[in-house]
Every structure is written in C-alpha cells, then in structure tokens.
C-alpha cells in the first residue's frame, strides 16, 4: 500500500531547485472534480506543500516543471494549474500520462526548471481529420492558452467542436523544451499522418480543386459596350471601360485580408438578366424598340 512516507521531497538549502516524487493520478480522479476541461491543457495539479516549498525557494515565475518517469526513461514538461491535490498525489492530464507511459499510482519525479521563451514550433496532426478545420492556426492558438510549455516529441491533445485532435510536436526553438507564456511564436504544420497526395496536388496545398477556384481572383467585365457623354464630347482615354477585379471567397470562409475600420460592400451579386429562367420567352426575347406607341401630356387633354 502506498503511503505518504514513500514520497521524497528534497529541499537543499543551497539550491533554488525544487525536486519531489509523487504518486501520479489522472485528472478524472481529483476529489470533487466537476470540471470537464482539466484534461484540455498542459498543466498539472500539485499538493499545497509544493507551493510552500516553491515559495521558500523563490522559484522563478512562471512555475515550470520537468516530469520524469525514471523506470521508462521518459520525460516531459508542464505548468501548474492549482495546488489543491492531496498530499503525496499529483494529477496529470490523460494525454500527458500517455506520453510518459505512466499508469495510475505510478511514481513520477518532478523538479522545477527554467525554459527559454518559444520562437518557433512545428506540429504534425496524427489524423487527416485535422484538415476539416477551416483555420487550424487560430484553433491551435486558442487551445495553447491552456498550455505553459511544449516539449519536442510530445503528442498533445486539443479539443475543438467536441472532438479531440492529437498533434505531435516535431520541433521547438530555441530548445527542445520551451515556454509559450506571453511569447510571439511562429507555427508550422507538417502533412498529417496518413495523408495521400492525389493527382495534381502538392503537400503545400491541401484544398480541393473547387475550393482553390473559389479562393483565386477572377476578372469580371462590367458595363460592356461604348459609353457616350451627355454633353456630346468625346470620352477621355482614362474614362474608357476597364475590367474590374474582385476576389470571391467560398461561403463560410472569413476574409483574412480584412482591415479594421474598413467597410466593404459585396458587389458580386448576379445581374437581374442572369436570374431569368431560360423558359421565359418574354424576358429573353430581344427588344428592338422600347416604349412603343403614342405618348400623352398630363397638362393638355388628348
């Protein structure tokens, strides 16, 4: 039976490094846990005694920790969410326990560390289902708000639209483990695992042909024919009709070129003449002379 006396906490007087060993448990076993978002992030829950020790050591903020599974020779990094765990216990997200090859009640070593601020990271989705997300960078940015650091080689889990997506951290700079709190980090995505190229496709373009056609710019000719000035003078060369270029986006895709404070009106609606059904002979028949017949004046009797 596991007892608190089996937990070793090292408090060296000459060092500012916190080191301790805890019994590892999943977030779902936290007493009184009614929150469903504890697994959606990269932070752990530790005991109040750990906070007391960290305060006495004057550990640098934000508090970051290295998690080590000595038996399986696996390690990762995490931040701390709360100090409300029972003494001797430490609660981890399920995906983190999976990375560290930890089972319930296994012993994990934890020590405080200082990590460099992230400048670059590269991710690879473990499933092609990740391609269904319209704006993956925005989704990832929102999900990483619940993380404190990243470790190269980890497979993190993010939740979006009630679905869990797993991403492998292929690379981080300037080190193999980085802090992502208050940083400006460039993000890249590798082709998802299991993705197969079709004919005429490349790795840099995962949109289908219909989507690519909708996103590209097209030339629309407006006001065909020659124009005449009301005063009878000839038109200047600068006033000659020219094609209008517009950008057409597929329905449901936001305009990423939008500038704050600029209001744009959509002029891409179909002309009335194009909306007439082909079977309507009266509307499609050419009109040679409009307003035929005799006119009358309202001021004089006919």
Residues 238-297 pLDDT 10s: 555 555 555 555 556 666 677 777 777 666 655 555 555 555 544 444 545 556 777 777
Is the distance from CB of 57 to CB of 19 less than 8 angstroms? no
Neighbours of 86 (CB within 10 A): 14
Q: What is the CATH number of domain 19-112?
A: 2.40.40.50
CATH number of the domain at 120-189, please? Answer: 3.10.330.10
Q: Region 161-167: what's the mean pLDDT?
A: 90
pTM score, two decimals?
0.60
The values of phi and psi at residue 136, to 5°, are -65, -35
Q: Where are the beta strands (DSSP E) in the chain?
A: 9-10, 19-26, 43-45, 64-69, 74-82, 89-92, 107-113, 120-125, 149-151, 155-160, 163-173, 177-179, 186-189, 217-220, 244-247
Q: Cα dihedral angle (94, 44, 35, 165), rounded to 10 degrees?
A: -40
Element (H, E) at 94: helix 94-99
Q: Return residue ranges of the chain for CATH 2.40.40.50.
A: 19-112
CA distance 107 to 112: 17
pLDDT of residue 161: 87
The pLDDT-based confidence of 212 (bands split at 50, 70, 90) is: very low
Q: Would the pLDDT of 206 be above 50?
A: no
Kindly state the helix (H) or strand (E) to which residue 143 belongs, with its residue range: helix 136-143
Burial class (CB in 10 A: 0-12, 13-18, 19+), 108: buried
State the pLDDT at residue 266.
64
Nearest to 247 by CA among 274, 269, 215: 215
Q: Let me know: does 192 contact 131? Beta carbons within 8 Å.
A: yes
Lowest mean pLDDT among 38-52, 73-87, 237-251: 237-251
Kindly state the helix (H) or strand (E) to which residue 140 belongs, with its residue range: helix 136-143
Looking at the chain, which residues constitute the CATH 3.10.330.10 domain(s)?
120-189
């Amino acid at each position: 039976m596991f007892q608190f006396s089996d937990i070793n906490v090292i408090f060296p007087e000459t060092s500012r490094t916190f080191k301790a060993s805890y019994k590892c448990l999943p977030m779902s076993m936290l007493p009184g846990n009614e929150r469903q978002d504890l697994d959606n992030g990269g932070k752990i829950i530790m005991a109040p005694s750990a906070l007391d020790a960290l305060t006495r050591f004057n550990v640098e903020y934000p508090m970051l920790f290295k998690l080590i599974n000595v038996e399986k020779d696996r390690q990762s990094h995490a931040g701390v969410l709360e100090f409300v765990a029972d003494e001797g216990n430490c609660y981890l997200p399920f995906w983190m326990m999976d990375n560290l090859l930890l089972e319930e009640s296994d012993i994990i070593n934890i020590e405080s560390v200082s990590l460099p601020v992230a400048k670059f990271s590269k991710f690879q989705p473990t499933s092609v289902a990740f391609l269904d997300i319209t704006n993956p960078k925005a989704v990832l940015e929102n999900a990483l708000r619940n993380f404190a650091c990243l470790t190269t080689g980890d497979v993190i889990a993010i939740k979006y639209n009630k679905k869990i997506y797993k991403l492998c951290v292929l690379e981080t700079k300037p080190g193999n483990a980085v802090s992502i709190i208050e940083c400006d980090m460039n993000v890249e995505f590798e082709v998802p695992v299991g993705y197969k190229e079709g004919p005429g496709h490349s790795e840099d373009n995962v949109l289908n042909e219909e989507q690519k056609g909708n996103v590209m710019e097209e030339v629309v000719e407006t006001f065909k024919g020659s124009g005449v000035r009301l005063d009878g003078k000839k038109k200047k060369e600068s006033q000659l009709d020219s094609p209008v270029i517009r950008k057409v986006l597929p329905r449901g895709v936001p305009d990423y070129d939008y500038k704050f404070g600029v209001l744009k009106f959509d002029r891409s609606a179909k002309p009335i003449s194009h909306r007439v059904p082909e079977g309507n002979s009266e509307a499609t028949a050419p009109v040679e002379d409009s307003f035929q017949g005799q006119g009358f004046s309202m001021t004089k009797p006919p």
